[in-house]
Amino acid sequence: MNDQTTPAPKPARPKPGERRLQILQTLAAMLQEPGGDRVTTAALAGRLQVSEAALYRHFASKAQMFEGLIEFIESTIFGLINQITTQQEDGLRQLRDIVAMLLSFAEKNPGMTRVLIGDALVTEDDRLQDRINQLIDRIEASLKQAFRVTVAQGRLPQDTDAAARAGIVLAYVLGRWLRFAKSGFRRSPGDLFDQQAPFLIA
| Positive/negative CA dihedral, 155, 156, 157, 158 | negative
pLDDT at 176 over 50: yes
Residue 91 in contact with residue 166, Cβ under 8 Å?
Answer: no
pLDDT value of position 128: 96
Each domain of the chain, given as residue ranges in start order, spans 62-201
DSSP-derived letter for residue 5 is P
DSSP-derived letter for residue 119 is G
Mean pLDDT score of the chain = 91
Residue 10 in contact with residue 160, Cβ under 8 Å?
Answer: no
Cα distance between residue 156 and residue 147, in whole Å: 8
pLDDT at 151 over 90: yes
| Positive/negative CA dihedral, 133, 138, 144, 146 | negative
pLDDT band (50, 70, 90) for residue 13: low
Cα distance between residue 115 and residue 112, in whole Å: 5
pLDDT value of position 177: 98
In CATH, which of 1.10.287.990, 3.40.50.360, 1.10.357.10, 3.20.20.240 is domain 62-201?
1.10.357.10
State the pTM of this model.
0.88
User: Based on the number of CB atoms within 10 Å of its own CB, is 100 exposed (0-12), middle (13-18) or buried (19 or more)?
Assistant: middle
Cα distance between residue 81 and residue 77, in whole Å: 6
Average pLDDT over residues 102-122: 95
